[in-house]
Structure 1
């Protein structure tokens, strides 16, 4: 009798184990209320019994998708999505359970990532939105903060519809970006926020992204140990980017850089390395649009200027775009400018023009950008892209501000004679009869009054490549 009872208990345990293992499971990001990328092969993934065969049915079509789990139990299905619309359902029917995902929309999906200025939510601009925030065609997924030494399979979070409650917690920049896309494209928009205040770029990329560059690897070891975030490369990538990398997206928006000003020299290589690593992991060559950091009173001279320069250089990386916000700063002693609406709108204009091919003139969505220079009779002629219609000044000053000029002695003085033309700026000073270089807004707090005719601020720049060493600023 005793042996019989033991045998029955063993059989019961085996049956329980079989049934438990056979249940199909999905990661949190695969859930009701989600938005799937339109007109593509969108990924659906999860876990099941090894080699289990099951069926996926999408309500927008009559055919079903047959899926077989791998020997590891993992499975990924690529399902054909229709043009934007919804709501739809997806039914996943397996041997032991059936999962029904409801209220699914088809549209455009973007990741919003970076540090505090991307994470920032519930400011007065968001509060003004709350009475009319409810919008079934905008959905949010917030990746919960987590770290890991190794890539993780899941990230916690939940898809929710935009309303007064969900909006209070979501990225303000992300929301205003998504709202603009929703309005202009007339399609549902899904926004995946993965952000963490105070984080340097090293934490957002896998270790292999640093490559064989010894200078980059050395810089990555110098991330400070602080209480409000991790301090080792890849820890956030492993837990907050890798787990969502199967998700099919349209692109990424990014607002970060303040955490790297003390290591500005290597930022371009780190940043573009991160973009490449993300695209490789997502297996998508998606566009990557980012915000240049705002002017701020850093502890050392030129910290912000050097980081901004690195961000501008990153524009040479394929399928990237940058918005400049030197005109959106209300307080240079705060790293968090209040105006998040215009940041989101400028990012959205980049996407509308470059990704969605809306007929927007370059001058309307791309900041004026230094291209080249020539010296002629004691004057430096600067050739500027995205200013074909000329320039304008804002404020009370009658001359453009923030221009410095220098000769071979590398001694910069304010330019005294500045002429504006279509696509050109001519700079000179009686103090510098033989000029060789110009700097524009190349400081931590430079906020020039110079814009193109369409109202976008000129991107800070310098024409020289002389060594600039930040020096600690003495406290007042």
Structure 2
């Protein structure tokens, strides 16, 4: 009986191996869809070219920038990958290159390729939000009527991955590299576009923007299953229910399916860094989001195998969630969970408290968001230390005679503190031992802010912009808004 079971198992294994080899032998040459004409190749890193072919087929590639031929042999499963050395980009050099890839039955020529910087831009609807309106979803970015006609940037290239999910990993995506122009930018991400323009203008080298975003997506949907399984808390919270009752979980919350189809196909692509604008779909998950997003990031870094890739993300903008009563602050606690991701190496956070629209989850002022992400990248990734990227950031407080004096980190003060339109700073709250917060008066005194309220004679805590939808006016003279904060550690 045991021998019979063993024989059946052996026959099944042999059948699987023969079927796999036969499939590999018969399949035609396929290039990974991330590799196309019109793309930007990441400077100063090995450029990987990969795909499928017949088993043991020889594939070679040669790029016009150095004419060195590289040859590899496909595996028995038909998988292959080769690497070409890529030089450092020279400012002002926009010379188009070509790559010739040869295989047994023919060749593929990729034209109009530039060498520059490549950024992966991911998240949910606010990252995906297009320059043009897409009613009833959103109204388009502010001033799109004049912004789109000016989008003549032939040395910025756009690659928009189509929304899709998969229960298994794949190397193919539905996307096309395009030259940035008024004809192509309208259906591309506003945040990514404005980021790319500012980086391009400062570096004067080509920029490639890889957009892989999905409206309504949760963070767990972009996280590899292996990552969720490796952490007992994440597995229990996000994976177990789906494995037991997959139909009970809505598509945008199903773990790993977007990762399989929209991130995994890109992991061999050499990139400079990652932009992330996501959180709305996890906004009531403040207790676990820091761990989840940090784990997702570490998983991506492990997959891309390019070290601690920069990860610059957007803190959620003010939104009332159709619940306009004053005490609600769930979204504020979620923003705090986002800020905690900064403890992970090589990360940065763009603040958007001044550009939100409380009644619209898709605010239109995407230009400021993209530009603030660009400031972070230019300062932290490209070494432009003269570019300020931080708004006023809480450092400490002193309580004296019924008032609280708030100080800020030196770097975040920049040239000084100010408010928009000259009004006093808004959205400061103050509380005593009873933990009841009251709206406070706030006044700028040099590089500090003094906070007080008649209702609180003996203050013990201050909160700033710590509500769901405060649209703020407090900033530094670089016009960067202050980071929300609280001086207490109370649960609510």
Same fold (TM over 0.5): yes
How does the TM-score come out when normalised to structure 1? 0.88
TM superposition shift of 1:299: 4.6
Equivalent position SS for 1:210: helix
Match of 2:109 in 1: 100
Q: Distance in 1 between matches of 2:474 and 2:275?
A: 26
The structure-2 alpha-carbon separation of the partners of 1:229 and 1:367, relative to structure 1 and needing over 3 Å to count, comes to farther
Partner residue in 1 for 2:265:
243
Deviations 1:82-112, CA, capped at 9 Å, x for gaps: 2334311111112221111111111110111
In structure 2, the partner of 1:3 is none
Are residues 1:230 and 2:262 paired? no
Alignment deviations for residues 147-203 of structure 1 (CA, whole Å, 9 cap, x no partner): 112222211111111122211111111111111111111111111110111112111
Could you say what secondary structure the match of 2:191 adopts?
Answer: helix
1:159-308 residue pairs with structure 2 within 5 A? 159-210=177-228, 213-220=231-238, 229-284=251-306, 285-299=308-322, 301-308=328-335
* Structure 1 residues not aligned, in runs of 5+: 1-16, 469-476
Partner of 1:373: 397
The farther-off stretch of 411-420 and 52-61 is: 411-420
Return the match for 1:47 from 34, 44, 52: 52
Residue 21 of structure 1 and its aligned partner are, at CA, apart by 3.7
Deviation at 1:420, TM superposition (A): 2.9
After superposition, give the CA deviation of every residue in 1:195-243 in whole Å (9 maximum; x if it has no partner): 1111121111112333665554444268998999533111111110011
Relative distance call for 1:416 and 1:55 in structure 2 (3 A) is: closer
CA contact (8 A) 1:47 1:73 kept: yes
Deviation at 1:32, TM superposition (A): 1.0
1:110·1:249 contact (CA, 8 Å) conserved in 2?
A: yes
Any idea what SS the aligned residue of 1:365 has? coil
Asked if 1 retains the 8 angstrom alpha-carbon contact of 2:51 and 2:81, the reply is yes
Judge conservation of contact 1:225–1:231 (CA < 8 Å) in 2: no
**In structure 2, C-alpha distance between the alignment counterparts of 1:208 and 1:384, rounded to whole Å:** 41
Instruction: Describe the shift of the 1:134–1:89 C-alpha distance in structure 2 as closer, same or farther (beyond 3 A).
Output: same
CA shift digits 1:348-387 (9 cap, x unpaired): 11111111112324xx211222233344454433331201
**Structure 1's 125 and 78: CA in aligned 2 closer, same or farther, altered over 3 A?**
farther
Is 1:26 paired with 2:36?
A: no
Q: Which residue of structure 1 lines up, in the alignment, with residue 4 of structure 2?
A: none
Residue matched to 2:18: none
| 1:402 equivalent in structure 2 | 427
Of the candidates 323, 339, 342, which is equivalent to residue 312 of structure 1? 339
Structure 2, unmatched stretches of 5+, are 1-21, 133-139
Q: Is the 8 A contact 1:140 1:192 kept in 2?
A: yes
* Residue equivalent to 1:344: 370
**Corresponding residue for residue 165 of structure 2:** 147
**Is residue 204–residue 236 contact of structure 1 (8 Å, CA) maintained in 2?**
yes
Q: CA offset at residue 417 of structure 1?
A: 5.5
Who is 1:136 aligned against? 154
What number of residue pairs does the alignment pair up? 447
Query: Considering only aligned residues, what root-mean-square deviation do their CA atoms show, in Å?
Result: 2.4
Distance 1:431 1:414 in 2: 9
Structure 2-normalised TM-score? 0.85
Kept after mapping to 2: 8 A contact 1:403/1:415: yes
| Kept after mapping to 2: 8 A contact 1:147/1:230 | no
Give the Å deviation of 1:448.
2.5
CA contact (8 A) 1:391 1:451 kept: yes
Give the match for residue 474 of structure 1.
Answer: none
CA contact (8 A) 1:379 1:435 kept: yes
Aligned pairs for 1:317-332 (under 5 A) are 317-329=344-356, 331-332=357-358
How far off its partner does 1:19 sit?
11
Distance 2:101 2:180 in 1: 26
Residues 96 and 23 of structure 1, relative CA distance in 2, 3 Å threshold = farther
Assess if the C-alpha contact under 8 Å between 1:198 and 1:229 holds in 2: no
Separation of aligned partners in 1, 2:165 and 2:213: 12
Identify the residue that residue 383 of structure 1 maps to in structure 2.
407
